[in-house]
């Protein structure tokens, strides 16, 4: 009788291992689907941010060009009157507008840097989920 109970417990233990393995496989699959959905959502948000930044940058460039054309003429005339030379006035104004253009370009570049595009939430969640799965498997 004791041998029969041991054999029955071994069979039940085998079934529970299969059940646990099946559950772990289903949970892992569900987790992978959820992580992929999070990745897609995060990348979509990042793409929207990039598109918005590019559109804003293009708008800023259009207004900057128009403004620079109008202001440059006036500024060249004013500086030329101060320094007594139209050529020197134009050079001074050109140096100032070049500095502004470089500053705006560097600012735009920092907004489009690759560090802002990384899917940090997804990476963090995948690492956390891997730790949880490792803990469950080792338990």
Query: What pLDDT, in 10s, does the model give residues 3-58?
Result: 444 445 445 555 688 888 888 888 888 888 888 888 888 888 888 889 999 999 99
What CA–CA distance (Å, rounded) separates 35 from 41?
Answer: 10
pLDDT at 57: 95
What CA–CA distance (Å, rounded) separates 69 from 62?
Answer: 11
pLDDT at 74: 93
Residue 111: which domain range?
A: 2-138
Domain total in the chain: 1
Q: Report phi then psi at 118, rounded to 5.
A: -65, 135
Q: At what angle do helices 2-83 and 120-138 cross, to 10 degrees?
A: 160
Mean pLDDT of 66-79: 90
């Amino acid at each position: 009788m004791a041998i029969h109970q041991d054999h029955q417990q071994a069979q039940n233990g085998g079934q529970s291992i299969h059940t646990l393995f099946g559950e772990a496989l289903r949970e892992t699959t569900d987790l992978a689907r959820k992580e992929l959905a999070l990745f897609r959502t995060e990348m979509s948000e990042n793409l929207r941010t990039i598109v918005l930044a590019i559109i804003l940058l293009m708008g800023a460039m259009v207004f900057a060009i128009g403004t620079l054309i109008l202001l440059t003429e006036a500024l060249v005339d004013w500086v030329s009157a101060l320094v007594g030379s139209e050529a020197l006035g134009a050079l001074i104004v050109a140096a100032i507008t070049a500095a502004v253009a470089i500053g705006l370009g560097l600012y735009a570049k920092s907004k489009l840097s690759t560090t802002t595009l990384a899917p940090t939430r997804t990476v963090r969640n995948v690492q956390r989920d891997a730790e949880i799965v490792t803990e469950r498997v080792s338990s």
